[in-house]
Amino acid sequence: MLTHPLLLAALVLAVAAPSQAAPTAEGAAHAGASLFLQAIETPVIASLATSRPEDRLLELLDDQDASVRAEAAKTLRHYAQTDHRVKRRLEELLEDGRQPDEVRRECAKSLAWAAQDRSTADRILAVARDRRLSDGLRAAAFKSLYVAAGLRGVTDALRETLADGRETVEVRSAAAWALGHAAAEHDARRALIGTAQDRTLDASLRREAVKSLFHGLASNYDAENAVRALAEDAREPVEIREAAILELILKNQDRDAREFLDRTTRSQEPRLRAAAIKALGGLTLELARFFHLSHWHGRFIDPLEDQ
C-alpha 80/C-alpha 140 separation (Å) is: 17
- Does residue 194 sit within a domain? yes
Q: For residues 189 and 283, state if they share a domain.
A: yes
Which residues are CB-contacts of 215 (< 8 A; sequence separation ≥ 6)? 180, 181, 182, 183, 184, 291
**Residue 292 is assigned to a structural domain of this protein:** yes
pLDDT digits 0-9 by tens, 34-45: 443 343 344 444
Q: State the average pLDDT over residues 224-251.
A: 95
Query: What's the chain's Rg over C-alpha atoms?
Result: 27
Please indicate, yes or no, if residue 1 is contained in any of the structural domains.
Answer: no
58 and 112 part of one domain: yes
pLDDT band for position 16 (cuts 50, 70, 90): very low
The total domain count for the chain is: 2
Q: Are 126 and 189 part of one and the same domain?
A: no
97 pLDDT higher than 80: yes
Q: How confident is the model at residue 23 (pLDDT cuts 50, 70, 90)?
A: very low
Burial class (CB in 10 A: 0-12, 13-18, 19+), 132: exposed
Statement to judge: residues 225 and 295 lie in one domain: yes
Instruction: State the CATH number of the domain containing residue 70.
Output: 1.25.10.10
**Whether residue 273 sits in one domain with residue 191:** yes
Q: Is residue 129 part of a domain?
A: yes
More confident call, 255 vs 240: 240
Are 219 and 298 in a shared domain?
A: yes
Residue 155 lies in a domain: no
- Res 207: pLDDT: 98
Distances (CA, A) of 275 to 37, 196, 218, 266: 61, 18, 19, 11
- Asked if residue 156 has pLDDT above 90, the reply is yes
On whether both 74 and 124 belong to a single domain, the answer is yes
- Domain boundary at 118, 145, 172, which? 145
> What is the pLDDT, as a whole number, of residue 51?
67
In this structure, are 133 and 238 located in the same domain?
no
Residue 114 covered by a domain: yes
> How far is C-alpha 268 from the chain's CA centre?
36
Domain check: are 289 and 216 in the same one?
yes
Q: Within this chain, do residues 120 and 208 fall inside the same structural domain, yes or no?
A: no
Give CA torsion, residues 265, 221, 200, 155, to 10 deg. -120
Look up the pTM and report it. 0.81
260 is a domain residue: yes
Q: Answer yes or no: is 7 within a domain.
A: no
The whole domain housing 229 covers 183-302
Q: Is the pLDDT of residue 10 over 70?
A: no
Residue 29: band (very low, low, confident or very high) from pLDDT cuts 50, 70, 90: very low
Return the HEC string of the chain.
CCCCHHHHHHHHHHHHCCCCCCCCHHHHHHHHHHHHHHHHCCHHHHHHHHCCHHHHHHHHCCCCCHHHHHHHHHHHHHCCCCCHHHHHHHHHHHHCCCCCHHHHHHHHHHCCHHHHCHHHHHHHHHHHCCCCCCHHHHHHHHHCCCCCCCCHHHHHHHHHHHHCCCCCHHHHHHHHHHHHHHCCCHHHHHHHHHHHHCCCCCHHHHHHHHHHCHHHHCCCHHHHHHHHHHHHCCCCCHHHHHHHHHHHHHHCCCHHHHHHHHHHCCCCCHHHHHHHHHHCCCCCHHHHHHCCCCEECCEECCCCCCC
- Summarize pLDDT for 70-96 with one digit per residue, the tens: 999 999 998 998 999 999 999 999 999
Q: Which of 176, 53, 182, 170 is nearest to 105 (CA)?
A: 170
